[in-house]
């Protein structure tokens, strides 16, 4: 009985450590801007999908949720913080929809099996990341008005960078699946 309790305690510690490391990775990915055309990119969406692939839907969702709560409670974890505000002020700004979309995307990417080839995996990642943009565009439209060019402002500049990140994930997929097996979360 004591051995089972130690194993369970080990699993809990493992989840806590991995979750904290995941939020740290998300924070780092938000802070570094990479020169790209037509706009600089961060690697946040890359990490959101990566966490889903490696950790599975539940732990990835937990990790992404903790990241969002860290930002809501005032830690400068989001891109543009603290310069553009922190906490609820930043969260309820123009990027809130995208941040909420992180939750759906990480759960989605973690729910898929990536064993049916390049095109199949590519489509699964496109499907997963699309929730970030759908949620982001809906929120942006509600915030600035539907009469504005919402797609042109909130998605179009980022599509080329998104394609790059998805192709990078596909290239790394064999390694990521080995890491997933080592972690034994799913």
The CATH number of the domain holding residue 87 is 1.10.1760.20
Please report the pLDDT score of residue 46 as a whole number: 97
Angle formed by the axes of helices 2-31 and 44-72, to 10°? 100
In angstroms, the first-to-last Cα distance of the chain is 24
Please name the helix (run of DSSP H) or strand (run of DSSP E) that holds residue 112, with its range, or none: none
For the chain, the domain total comes to: 1
Paired residues of 41 in beta bridges: 34
Provide block-wise average pLDDT over 10 residues at a time, the chain (186 residues).
Answer: 77 93 96 77 95 97 98 92 85 93 98 94 98 96 94 93 96 95 79
For residues 119 and 139, give the distance between their C-alpha atoms in angstroms, rounded to a whole number: 30
For residues 26 and 44, the answer to whether their CB atoms sit within 8 Å is yes
Q: Buried (b) or exposed (e) across 77-108, using 16+ Cβ within 10 A?
A: bbbbbeeebbbeebbeeebbbbbbbbbbbbbb
Please report the pLDDT score of residue 8 as a whole number: 83
The whole domain housing 62 covers: 2-183
């Amino acid at each position: 009985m004591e051995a089972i309790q130690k194993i369970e305690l080990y699993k809990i510690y493992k989840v806590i450590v991995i979750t904290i490391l995941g939020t740290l990775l998300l924070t780092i990915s938000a802070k570094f801007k990479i020169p790209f055309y037509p706009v600089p990119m961060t690697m946040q969406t890359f990490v959101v999908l990566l966490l889903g692939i490696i950790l599975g839907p539940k732990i990835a969702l937990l990790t992404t949720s903790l990241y969002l709560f860290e930002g809501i409670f005032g830690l400068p974890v989001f891109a543009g913080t603290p310069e553009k505000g922190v906490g609820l002020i930043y969260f309820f700004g123009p990027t809130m929809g995208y941040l909420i979309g992180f939750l759906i995307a990480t759960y989605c990417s973690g729910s898929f099996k990536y064993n049916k080839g390049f095109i199949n995996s590519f489509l699964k990642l496109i499907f997963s990341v699309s929730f970030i943009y759908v949620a982001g565009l809906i929120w942006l439209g509600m915030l600035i008005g539907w009469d504005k060019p919402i797609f042109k402002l909130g998605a179009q500049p980022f599509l080329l960078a998104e394609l790059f990140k998805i192709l990078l994930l596909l290239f790394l997929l064999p390694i990521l699946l080995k890491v997933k097996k080592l972690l034994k979360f799913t």
